[in-house]
Structure 1
């Protein structure tokens, strides 16, 4: 048996830790996506279904399939969440997401686009990552990429869920309130989001959701 000096042992353990981290990071990369995910979209004042339809390139009737409580397509309440369906793709083999196209408006910044049109479903860092314009030099009325992360679930947690919502946390929400709104047990939400702070008031979590035919039962 060979005994390593303490310094060499520490270096060896550190190197192993780095190696393990690289392995785990590699395993986190995606191979394929899934046909459907949900964006939990917070409706701000002045927003309507036509506007949301344009943002997500999704027809209004398709959005309504996942929102049976919306009885008037020409009028939706401010302060509610709408379920907006979209495909969850494996982007560049690196992560699960979907890239939408947004036409910039006068005065837009990456931060304002993330916060307002897309209701924090993404953030300014992601927008800067997937676009070539400098944050202080975004032209008006040009198309830019808006990438929204998504999830296809984790069969090791539960095989009962095949559809997941990208859910931006808001101030005042916590694990209990998200569980109550989604109808998903709190312990399952934690298992699907092991590193998330549900009381942070910001950031994304992934919440099991229902297929369209379940919403309409």
Structure 2
């Protein structure tokens, strides 16, 4: 190969790698993340296991506080395990399949079914229907964001919870509740603005990974 051609090829490869690495926001995910699901009135583990496609015994492994699996208390939270993947090299998340019901819109699916673990925007991003004209009894994609941590912030945590904050909750109050320094919680949620539209944060898990 002529030296000038070699240099041109090397230059083109360098430019390609630069843009590839610049645009790729993630390159791999992690096997396990948790969704903090705020149990709505009338819900039960059978329903929760269905919408998240996780078996009840698997969910119970991460919820030792649940005394009676046949009757979980509304207004409490349970942890639902799922895999956290790098989707399209763009962001970390997991896409669940949900079969719509009569009257569903992207907004109600986000707020009532998945209880703010996702948003109308994220559901609309991965589906083809008009947000307010979603047909009944069709499968749609529901994407939930997740985190695998940040080794530059801390290497001590390997399991993270996608946590939709409720009214009255804040990152400082949650950091105090789970027993981590506020600067650590902020480090895992860079750019988080509690006054913004999304109130989803990623918290180091305080539950132990079950030994299988």
Q: Same fold (TM over 0.5)?
A: yes
CA distance in 2, matches of 1:200, 1:185: 23
Q: How far, CA to CA, are the matches of 1:182 and 1:131 in structure 2?
A: 35
Distance 2:94 2:52 in 1: 10
Contact 2:106 / 2:132 at 8 angstroms: preserved in 1? no
Deviations 1:92-119 (A, max 9, x none): 1111100000010110000000001101
Question: TM-score under structure 2 normalisation?
Answer: 0.84
- What's the offset of the Cα at 1:164? 0.6
SS of the residue corresponding to residue 213 of structure 1 reads coil
TM-score (norm 1): 0.82
1:153 equivalenced with 2:149 (yes/no): yes
Q: Which runs of 5 or more structure 2 residues have no equivalent in the other structure? A: 1-17
1:65 maps onto 2:61 in alignment: yes
Q: Which of residues 169, 172, 189 is equivalent to 2:168? A: 172
Q: Which of 73, 85, 92 lines up with 1:89 in the alignment?
A: 85
Q: What is the RMSD of the two structures over their aligned residues, measured on CA atoms?
A: 2.1
Per-residue deviation at 1:211?
3.6
Q: 1:173 to 1:149 in 2, by over 3 A?
A: same
**Among 49, 53, 58, the residue aligned to 1:53:** 49
Aligned length: 193
1:32 correspondence with 2:28: yes
Matches within 5 A, 1:104-143: 104-143=100-139
1:77 shift after superposition: 1.0
For residue 185 of structure 1, what is the aligned residue in structure 2?
181
Deviations 1:152-176 (A, max 9, x none): 1100000000111111111100233
Question: What SS does the aligned partner of 1:116 have?
Answer: helix
1:198: Cα distance to partner?
4.5
Contact kept? 2:96, 2:143, Cα under 8 Å? yes
Match of 1:212 among 202, 209, 212: 209
Once residues 194 and 143 of structure 2 are traced to their aligned partners in structure 1, the CA distance between those partners, rounded to angstroms, is: 22
Are the counterparts in 2 of residues 171 and 202 from structure 1 also a CA contact under 8 Å? no
After TM superposition, what 4+ stretches of structure 1 lie above 4 angstroms from structure 2?
198-202
